[in-house]
Structures are given as C-alpha cells and as structure tokens.
Amino acid sequence: MQETPTELMLKGYGLTTAEIFYRMPDYRNVLNTFVWQEYDLAPDHPKLFGFIEFWQDKIEGPLHSVRFTHRKMMSSGEWRQVVGEFRYH
C-alpha cells in the first residue's frame, strides 16, 4: 500500500524537484529538459539517484546536467491533531 504524502513528511521525507537537462538521441546538439518530483530523504536522495541510474541505463537521451532542490515541508514536531472545528457564518 502506498503511503500518503503526509505520512511520508512525518517520517522525514521532503519534496525533491529535479530539472534534468539531456541531449536528444538523434540531435546531440539539442538540449531538452525534464522535470521530476518525488518525496525523498535528504541528504542521500535515494529515489533521485535511483531515477538518474534508471535514466542512464534505459533511456537513450544522454544526460547533460541535473539541478535539484529539496524542501522539507513538515516535521513530526509541527504536526497537530485537530479535535474540533468551529464555523462562524
């Protein structure tokens, strides 16, 4: 069963966004971009590096460069359970 983004964030995952620059297989002088996003663990980034290895093994367009950023959106100390809700009309 796939974990929800909230469950992943509570376990320390953050959103990793990578901009991948690669060369077109038939036109080596043409660069193209691909944007990849996934919840990943910093500083090792196993999902990002796994995707890069997959790209190098299975996709014909050779990589030129990869830029990425990682943002931890929530930690376990920031989570609160809401018990009630009040509405004001």
Instruction: Work out the pLDDT band at 56, boundaries 50, 70, 90.
Output: very high
- pLDDT (mean) for 50-57: 96
Helix (H), strand (E) at residue 46: helix 46-58
The one-letter code for the residue type at 73 is M
Tens of pLDDT along 17-48? 999 999 998 998 999 999 999 999 988 999 99
pLDDT given at position 6 = 85
31: Cβ contacts below 8 Å, ≥ 6 apart: 21, 22, 23, 24, 64
Calpha distance 69→22 (Å, rounded): 18
The model's pTM:
0.76
Calpha distance 4→21 (Å, rounded): 29
